[in-house]
Amino acid sequence: MADLERMYIDGEWMLADGGATFDVKNPADGSIVAKVVNGAGPDIQRAVGAAHAAFREWSVLAPKDRGSILLRIQELMQERRDELARLVTLENGKPFEEAKKEVQFALGYFGWFAEEARRMSGEWIPSPQPGKRYWVLRQPIGPVAAVTPWNFPATMVTRKIAPALAAGCTVVLKPASATPLTALAIARITEVAGLPKGVFNVLTTNRSRLVGAELLTHPLIRKIGFTGSTDVGKGIMEAAAKQVTRLSFELGGNAPFIVFDDADFKAALEGAVAMKFLRVGGQSCICANRIYIQRGIAAEFIPAFVDAVGKLKVAPGFEPGAQIGPLINEETRAKVHSLVEDAVKHGAKLVAGGRYLTDDKYAKGFFYSPAVLTGVTDDMAVAQEEIFGPAAPLLIFDSEEEVIRRANATKFGLAAYFYTRDLARLVRVSEQLEYGLVGANDATGYTHEIPFGGFKESGLGREGGREGIAEYTEVKSVVVNLG
Ligand code: NAP
Ligand code: MG
């Protein structure tokens, strides 16, 4: 019998109203990792009520004091890093070594925003009239509803709650139903760190329609922070229109990865393999989705890429040396495979992988052999859609102007990468890519210090950086009449 995990509301570990539960499964072997309580309507009301009640006291605490608690959370996450990483691998499937890196990165958001909380200063603006003064201040926006996906069970949570708590907001988090265990473990840490009750609540549920109807549109919720698919985001935006709830969205992507003839060959090759395959096996919103190779280098680059992909180790996450774990579920694996098959049907060539792995240790999990497709064209579904898995479409281009046009021809705008040794080109291309994150000779993604978010249908607002905390504040202008 698997453990029963309770949710955390108003400082208490609770069962769900009605007593329902759902299973969290290990995607590597289908085993049940835990049973988790399945929150219902009354639980949502209770969680929002708790966040509302806790808001006043938390919001007026000195930012430095809020920061001290966040630093303590960071410290405890550091102490329990491997324990948290173990949960990440169990519920998400990613290799344990990668999970450790995720948790290490995730905890850093508490440090960054603990410090930023102290810099939420306002302005004193000169008035054109004598006898008046203008005073502009930032105030925490109020109780926040945060909804997160399964691909980074730790980072997606801390990237939202650290800035919200630092700003003085309270939070009701609804983690992905595939990966609630890491979120609950983080809640336990916030409890030990002394975060007052009601400030951070974790509502576990797989009833996402109910979450849309009762949590996200609750009149006491002042802000929604959502990370997930563009389609779900659009539905939330429509629902939020009724009360003009503030929104921050981190949505889907379709990242171009461009290799110019004059690139540092080895760096571009390693970057492309890493950004395509080594972030949750391609299940990341910033993963390379279309790899554009300039014609002059293609004959050399493509075989080297295929060779490198052939050496990647697909294995259950706890197996030493594992580089690519299982996909999260069968639906995701089937979608990746159908995109590969569709490309082949339309004239692309499958030159590596691209099949279900089903023998022995793979038998009960959602494993897929890393695929490489050549002869891909922009109109194929594999280039148009977010693949979200271990398949690499390779495309050829001739000129800089052409590749920029093709790279930008998508409704998405989250991340883009390119490799060149020409400094003037590096500046030109960086400026012309319509993406929120551009890796110029770099494929390591974002950090705590920089704002991260998408152009176009990839999102609204920014997480991380100075901007990350501003998202959880309202700006107030006070007009002072000295009489
Ligand atoms: P998803 O289906 O949109 O789910 C994300 C979260 O929303 C989950 O907690 C989910 O709950 C919940 N949800 C689903 N339907 C809902 C509804 N109608 N109302 C309210 N909440 C709802 O996304 P996913 O499939 O888990 O994740 C993959 C997507 O996330 C990709 O498109 C990826 O690009 C995007 N993503 C973006 C970023 C970024 O930073 N831009 C980062 C990571 C992922 P359940 O778990 O119960 O379904
Ligand atoms: Mg989904």
**Residue 319, burial from CB neighbour count under 10 angstroms (0-12, 13-18, 19+):** middle
Strand partners, 480: 133
Which is it for the CA torsion 29, 34, 35, 38, positive or negative? negative
Q: What gap in Å lies between CA 483 and CA 465, rounded to an integer?
A: 41
Q: Would you call 285 a catalytic residue per the annotation?
A: yes
d(CA 26, CA 44): 27
How much is the pTM?
0.97
Show the ligand 1 pocket: residues with CB < 6 angstroms.
147-151, 174, 176-178, 206, 208-209, 211-212, 227-229, 232, 235, 250-253, 285, 386, 388, 414, 454, 459
Between helix 155-167 and helix 96-117 the angle, nearest 10°, is 10
- Catalytic: which of 250, 386, 400, 457? 250
Q: How far is the CA of 474 from the centre of ligand 2 (A)?
A: 31
Backbone angles phi, psi at 376, to 5 degrees: -80, 145
The CA distance from 477 to 252, in Å, is 35
**pLDDT interval class at 2 (50, 70, 90):** confident
Ligand 1 atom 23, closest CA = 228
Report yes or no: 247 and 237 within 8 Å, Cβ to Cβ.
yes
91-101 residue pLDDT tens: 999 999 999 99
Share of the chain above pLDDT 90, in %: 99
Which protein residue has the closest C-alpha to ligand 1 atom 16? 208
pLDDT bin (cut points 50, 70, 90) of residue 32 is: very high
pLDDT at 3 over 90: no
Residue whose CA is closest, atom 36 of ligand 1?
228
Gap between the Cα atoms of 157 and 150, Å rounded: 10
- The predicted pLDDT at position 224 comes to 98
Angstrom distance (rounded) from CA 414 to CA 249? 11
100-117 pLDDT, tens digit each: 999 999 999 999 999 999
Q: What share of the chain is helix, strand, coil (3-state, %, to 5)?
A: 40, 20, 35
The CA 215 to ligand 2 mean position distance, Å, reads 18
Sketch out the chain's domains with CATH numbers. 3-251+457-480 (3.40.605.10), 255-448 (3.40.309.10)
The residues facing 25 across adjacent strands are 32
SS3 state of residue 199: coil
- Ligand number nearest CA of 153 is 1
Write the pLDDT tens digit of every residue in 326-376. 999 999 999 999 999 999 999 999 999 999 999 999 999 999 999 999 999
Angle between helices 155-167 and 63-79 (to 10 degrees): 160
Beta partners for residue 391, in sequence order: 371
Categorise residue 477: left if φ over 0, alpha if ψ from -120 to 50, beta otherwise. Answer: beta
